[in-house]
Amino acid sequence: MEFKSLKNIETSFRQIRFFGLVFILLCAGITGYSVFSAYSFAEQQRQKIYVLDKGKSLILALSQDLAQNRPVEAREHIRRFHELFFTLSPDKNAIESNINRAMFLADKSVYTYYKDLLEKGYYNRIISGNINQTLHVDSVVVDFMNYPYTASTYARQVIIRESNITERNLVTKCSLINSVRSDNNPHGFTVENFEVVQNNDIQTVTR
C-alpha cells in the first residue's frame, strides 16, 4: 500500500513538471509573438507620414523605401544630365544656363570636356551658324552590382541647320556616386569620369 502511494506521488510530480513545462513554453511563445507583433507594428508606423493640409485636414501618406527607387533615380539623373548638356540653341545665355545646370549634376571631368569644346569654338559655331541641337536618350544602362556605379548612355543628336538636318549617334560612359540631395541635384547623384565613346553622323537630310 505504501509503495503504491509513493508511485502515485511520483506520477503526480511528473504531471506537475509536464504541465509546468508546457505552461513555460506557452508563456515564452506568447511573449515572443507579442514582441514580434510590436516590432512589426512599429516598423509599419515608421513607414507612414502624416501631412497637415493647411492645418485643417490630416492626410495619411505611405512613405516608400528610398533604396527601391535608386535605380530609377540613377537613370533619370543621367538622362537629365545629357539632355541639359547636349541640348543647345543659338543663344549664349541659354547655352550657359543649360551647361551650368548640368554642372551641378557632374564633376570636373564634365567641366574639362566642356572647356575642350569651348576652346575648339564649338559653341561659337552653334551661335554663329544659328544651329539648334537636341538630344534624344534611347537608353541608359547602369551596373548596380559594384560601387561606384558604371553607366552607359545611348542617345541620338539632331542638329538642325538652315540648309540641312543631321542625325548623330552618341554613346557615353561615366561613373555614378551618391551625393547630397539639393534643389540643383534632386536625385542625389554625381556623374564622374565622363567620356564620349562614339559621336558619329548617321544621316544628313537636306531641308
> What does the pLDDT look like over 76-131, one tens digit per residue?
999 999 999 999 999 999 999 999 999 999 999 999 999 999 999 999 999 999 99
Q: Is the pLDDT of residue 181 over 80?
A: yes
Q: What is the mean predicted confidence (pLDDT) over 61-89?
A: 81
In order of their start, the domains of the chain are 2-62 (no CATH), 66-206 (3.10.450.230)
- The reported pLDDT for the residue numbered 158 is 94
Q: Is the pLDDT of residue 65 over 80?
A: no
Q: Is the pLDDT of residue 52 over 60?
A: no
Give the dihedral sign, CA 135/137/138/140.
positive
How far apart are alpha carbons 83 and 103 in whole angstroms?
Answer: 12
Minimum mean pLDDT range among 9-23, 36-50, 51-65, 95-109: 51-65
Average pLDDT taken over every residue of the chain? 83
How far apart are alpha carbons 180 and 187 in whole angstroms?
Answer: 8
The DSSP letter of residue 77 is H
For residue 49, what pLDDT band results from cuts at 50, 70 and 90?
low
Minimum mean pLDDT range among 15-24, 70-79, 111-120, 171-180: 15-24
Minimum mean pLDDT range among 21-25, 79-83, 118-122, 186-190: 21-25
